[in-house]
Amino acid sequence: MYRKTVFFLWAALAWMTPAAIAGALGWKGIWGSGSAFFDYLIPIPVAGGVLHLPSFIGVSLILFTQPWTGRLGDHVRGLLLAGMLVGVAVLLDLDTLQLAATTDMAGGRFWQEQPVGLFIVTDCVIAQLFVRSLGGRWPEGTKQWAGSLIMALAIPVAYAAVSLKTDPRQQNPFVHVGEHGTGRRGDEVVFYYSKLPLGSQAFRQSASAVLERHDPRMNLNAEDIAIHFYDSLASAQARNSSGAKYTVCLYQDGTATTWNPGSVDCFSGHESFSERREKAFSMQDKALPHDVRSWLARRDACAGRKPLTAPAGKHMDNQEVRACDPAQTERAREELLKKFEGDGGVLAALR
């Protein structure tokens, strides 16, 4: 009866504590909406509480098999401490910590909203409060204390090392810092820190994956893209284009990609499709309705353009592909002809 009472007390504390902490910190549920408090309380597959089950079951087994006999009983607290530190390591963004330790990284967020780490930490800490009441014990001598401390440190260190090694970001020679527009429609600037020597053969080979990621031919918003690379993470974080050590210019309209040492202006000498369309719009008869002028600008901007070809195995979708699709253009024209069937000026312009 006593152990049943202890179990219910343990279960209530262990199950509610991480949910309360996550709720107080403003964490969201695992699907990104709602409070984590209610989400973490529900142990079903569609809720965050299901992620608590492995830790809760594992720590419960450690607790309610107490007391352990022999030498193993000296290490129960060390095992729980090791578990807690593993949970802390799960909560930490180890890749960001490693960057902070090995580069000139300016600031950064080192903690993650990681429910599994929170569950492990709280379960192991709360379990320490119940060990004695279930017959468990502290290490009995110096040797036992040393063994427990070694265990408590070795397990989380090993976990952190394996976690870092298997983190795909560790294998990536580039750190994506962010991007922003330039104020001109269709132009975008992207910032990367490079772990490789800028301009080297290894850099150019590895950067192909970055260029593919930002391919403007697959982008509805960006048509001309400048990718700035830096050999300093702090400089990349500052997002100061003039400080770039290498620049790659990408263009949606098929203009060849350029690789340039230093900071280069990829935009002023190139006309994007959106700019061409805006220029065509400004040249239309201002007496015509706006939607008619837009269609005429679309027609004129597409005139003489060589159709864009998608890379093998990929679907291409961008502003030019949509605007210059012959079927869609003709459909839009037919709709305008019906809409303005009594307006001779519009009909003349559309024919």
Nearest alpha carbon to residue 127 among 77, 75, 82, 173: 77
- Predicted pLDDT at 117: 96
Nearest alpha carbon to residue 219 among 246, 251, 191: 251
- Predicted pLDDT at 232: 94
What is the residue-averaged pLDDT of the chain? 90
DSSP helix/strand/coil, 259: strand
User: Which residue numbers in the chain have pLDDT < 70?
Assistant: none
- Predicted pLDDT at 179: 94
Q: Where are the domains of the chain?
A: 2-168, 174-261, 273-350
- Alpha carbon separation from 107 to 96, 103, 155, 169, 290 (Å, rounded): 10, 11, 28, 18, 49
- Predicted pLDDT at 321: 85
CB 301 within 8 A of CB 294: no
| C-alpha span between 6 and 136 (Å, rounded) | 14
Task: Tell me the chain's radius of gyration from C-alpha atoms.
Answer: 30
- Predicted pLDDT at 137: 85
- Predicted pLDDT at 139: 85
- Predicted pLDDT at 176: 95
- Predicted pLDDT at 188: 95
